[in-house]
Amino acid sequence: MNALQQTKYFAGAITISLVVSIFFLWLVEAPLVDTAKLLVEGAFGTNQRIGDTFMIWVPLLLASASLVVTFSAGLWNIGVEGQIVAGAVAASFVAREVQGSTAVVLTLMVIGGFVGGALWGLLVGVLRVRGGVNEIFGGIGLNFVATGLIVYLVIGPWSRDGVASTGGTEPFGPQAWFPTIDGLRVSPLALIIAFVALVSVMFLLSKTHFGLRLRATGKNSLAANRFGIATSRYLLMAFIIGGGIAGLAGVTQAGAVYHRLVPSISGGYGFLAILIVLLARFRGLWVIPIALFFATIAMASFQWQLRLGLHSALGGVIQGVLVLSIVLVMGYQEGRQHREQSNIRGNTAL
Amino acid sequence: MRWKLMMLLLPALLALGACSSSDDTESALTSQSAATTVAATTVAAVATEAPEPFKLGLILVGPRDDRGYSQAHFEGGTYAVEKLQGELIVVDKVNPADSPNITIPQIVDDMIDQGAHLIIATSDDMKDGILEAAAAHPDVPMIHASGDSAWADGKAYHAELPMLGNFFGQMEYGKMIAGCAAALQSDAGKISYLGPLINDETRRLVSSTFLGARHCWTEVLGKSASDLSFNVNWIGFWFNIPGFTLDPTVVANEFFASGTDVIISGIDTTEAIVEAGKKASAGDTVWAIPYDYEGACAEAPTACLGVPYFNWGPTYLKNAQSVIDGEFTASFAWIGPDWSDINNHDTSTIGFLKGDGLTSANAEKLDDFIASLGDGSLNLWTGPLNFQDGSSFLGSGVAATDLEIWYMPSLLEGMEGPAE
């Protein structure tokens, strides 16, 4: 398909999603002009808001980078949420236990978070490779376990002195806070980590033998196996790398956003990243603008709630409409291509 | 093929994603009427031109219509802005389940952008966030209810935050009255307390409830203390968050199943009275005492023995006026009832509204109990009192100090349930 056709399909998808979104806004009696205005102003109206938007972008980029790895290996890593939580738990352990300079503590938090997420991902992988448990079910199960673990820690061993509340742990010491730009909440270090992770994933998948074999495993595991690729090993590696990167999202959430461990530390960003990666069609480069757009909507929905009294879930509805529209149009486009190819084959046979 | 798979999985993904933000009730901000103007505050950073309507920013942990804690605050804010003919800026449902990605500093920034003159964070769960916000905006009047950052004698005094004050009602009295009502009405002598999370505040409130119950059981009814069972179970937060807390509906039903005939609620929402109402409708002789909001008994009037409630209006008004007058500074206020009429909406921060379930004979006894608290002839926080583990809390005849009550470290002897 040429670029013009692709643009036409994309424009069609955007039009559908706009029409449906406007319908929903009309349904909830939202003022259309103000809602649209706040979409931009809510995310980019002030320096503080731009910073906050970027701080939503960070976990979305990291979770998306994680999913690009596992999707490339043909894996539906629904367990990404649990891996974010595991990373946050590991980073929180470091923040609570390690005394030292900010550089030392943050370095260990990043390493710890990666290892925590990787181990949680590996659990899903082992269940899949050794136990024959589909990664979707294993991932969902381990997401529940991760939630249970974090609630247990927050209300139990890591609770505030004399307190048993699911509200969160005591804030970390200042050495475990990601440094921010003066007066803002945005952390350049968190942004750097997200970009390095994404670029590393893109490089790994497109420029290395490992990436080639991983993608081969994802495209056709049986064929890859016959070509001598140890597919089980590659699947496990995908879970380790993907889980580790997801764990980094947990690190930034704990160290740069909340500065403590809270039960909702993942913020649902893992699930959102699945939609982002689907829209990006598993390509790392496209993740960047799409994740930014989703971060924009997330920030806007906060403003919609604050300024217009709209429901906090409205942003999620619009995101869902957008994704469904694009997937529908792309599905139509693939179906049409398939039919055209069938016709060509049929004519040739005649 | 890949797209077919996506189409199959997308609805599930969307549903999973929605789990992080969806909820049942309507949300968010209102801006209430601003007909006329009041004198502009001199507070820096927010007010620049006079005259303009006074704007009160209110951050609620639950929905504004929860018939519990958050609604009481919302109505207090409404009362104040109506008196001042100002505006109310409200953000509700600021909690880990409904708004996992919204932080208190973000909300405060936005309220300041909107011109808020005074910002009140109404939940203890907002402590870290409001401290951070106050440090970022040291000139903006803010209040944390309940907090102790402005209490010079307290354990968490923040002298560096001169505009972050604290206030809270002495709900200990409301809870004593609730405990007394429960003991007077209970046939089985089995009272259970539906607790939220465990901290200093909830320990002192449940202990006050126990003291009221034990006093009325032994001193008013003349029964033996050993025949009174007082059990507490904690759900883990101020209200139900599926997956994160115990379900208060389940806990309430377990209480009843174990023989409890009166549940006293310490959580922000109405599950105890709702379940008691269902049981009572089915013919069981059970009651409940909800919490926080004056209208909470409406959920099941005949099963309700009464409700201790917050009437925040006068306190909100007083603090708003001090901002308008340019006199606001951080202070710690622990405000008792107006004993001349605890249900006076213009003067009393703490009230107790008797429920239809309370017999008239018990209502009279309860009035006597309230009167003795009010005239100072009865101080239930007087020794001898032991902690749950048997260690001494207060020696004979010794009255507890405010600090000892506020920072209650354990439960009292005679109470069953975890203390931390």
Q: Provide the percentage of residues in chain A whose pLDDT is more than 90.
A: 52
How far apart CA A21 and CA A66 sit, in angstroms, is 29
* Residues lower than pLDDT 70 in chain B: 1-51
Mean pLDDT of A103-112: 97
Identify whether B162 is preceded by a cis peptide bond (ω within 30 of 0): no
How far apart CA A63 and CA B27 sit, in angstroms, is 29
pLDDT of residue A38: 85
Query: A residues 287-316 near B, CB within 8 Å?
Result: 298, 302-303, 305-313, 315-316
Other beta carbons less than 10 A from residue B207's beta carbon: 30
How far apart CA B372 and CA B349 sit, in angstroms, is 19
- Long-range contacts formed by A109-112: CB under 8 A, 24+ apart: A109/A176, A109/A251, A109/A254, A109/A255, A110/A193, A110/A248, A110/A251, A112/A251
**In this structure, CATH architecture of domain B22-170+312-335:** 3-Layer(aba) Sandwich (3.40)
pLDDT digits (tens, 9 = 90+) for B148-158: 999 999 998 99
Tokens of B10: 């997308």
* Under 8 Å between Cβ of B38 and B54: yes
CA distances from A231 to A202, A206, A213, A236 (A): 20, 18, 8, 9
Q: Does A93 have pLDDT greater than 80?
A: yes
> DSSP state, A305?
I
How far apart CA A56 and CA A253 sit, in angstroms, is 9
Contacts of B242 in chain A (CB under 8 A): none
pLDDT of residue A165: 77
Q: Is A256 on the interface with B (CB under 8 A)?
A: no
Q: Which residue of A134, A160, A264 to mutate against B (max B Cβ within 10 Å)?
A: A264
pLDDT of residue B419: 86
CA distances from A196 to A58, A214, A255, B84 (A): 11, 20, 18, 54
Are the Cβ atoms of B101 and A311 closer than 8 angstroms? no
What size, in residues, is chain B? 420
Q: Which residue has the higher pLDDT, A257 or A310?
A: A257
Query: A residues 172-201 near B, CB within 8 Å?
Result: 185
The beta-carbon neighbor of B29 closest among A165, A268, A306 is A306
Tokens of B398: 């010794």
pLDDT of residue A349: 58
Contacts of A152 in chain B (CB under 8 A): none
pTM for the model: 0.81
pLDDT grade for A312, boundaries at 50, 70 and 90: low
Q: Distance, in angstroms, between B23 CA and closest chain A CA? A: 8
pLDDT of residue A307: 80
pLDDT of residue B178: 97
Contacts of A72 in chain B (CB under 8 A): none
Of A251, A285, A260, the closest CA to residue A65 belongs to: A285
CA triple B211-B217-B219, angle to 5 deg = 90
Range list for CATH 3.40.50.2300 in chain B: 22-170+312-335, 171-309+351-416
- Using CA of residue B123, residue B125, residue B127, residue B128, what is the dihedral sign? negative
Alpha helices by DSSP H, listed for chain A, are: 3-27, 32-44, 47-72, 80-97, 102-129, 135-155, 188-207, 209-219, 221-226, 231-252, 269-279, 284-303, 314-349
Distance of CA A121 to the CA centre of its chain: 14
How far apart CA B284 and CA B74 sit, in angstroms, is 35
pLDDT of residue B17: 41
CA triple A273-A256-A241, angle to 5 deg = 45
Query: A residues 92-131 near B, CB within 8 Å?
Result: none
pLDDT of residue B3: 44
In one-letter notation, the amino acid at residue A76 is: W
The set of residues, in sequence order, having a beta carbon less than 8 Å from that of B289 and lying 6+ positions away, is B178, B181, B182, B262, B263, B264, B265, B272, B273, B304, B305, B306, B307, B308, B355
pLDDT of residue A318: 80
How far apart CA B412 and CA B236 sit, in angstroms, is 20
Q: Does A174 have pLDDT greater than 80?
A: yes
Contacts of B268 in chain A (CB under 8 A): none
pLDDT of residue A339: 81
ipTM, 2 dp: 0.78
Mean pLDDT of A110-137: 95
Mean pLDDT of A311-320: 75
Q: Which residue has the higher pLDDT, A104 or A320?
A: A104
* Under 8 Å between Cβ of A17 and A321: yes
* Under 8 Å between Cβ of A250 and A88: yes
* Phi, psi (deg, nearest 5) at residue B118: -145, 135
Mean pLDDT of A37-58: 90
CATH class of the domain whose range is B171-309+351-416: alpha beta
CA closest to B13 among chain A residues = A271
The beta-carbon neighbor of A267 closest among B100, B237, B243 is B100
Of B1, B74, B65, B26, the closest CA to residue B311 belongs to: B74
Contacts of A278 in chain B (CB under 8 A): 6, 10
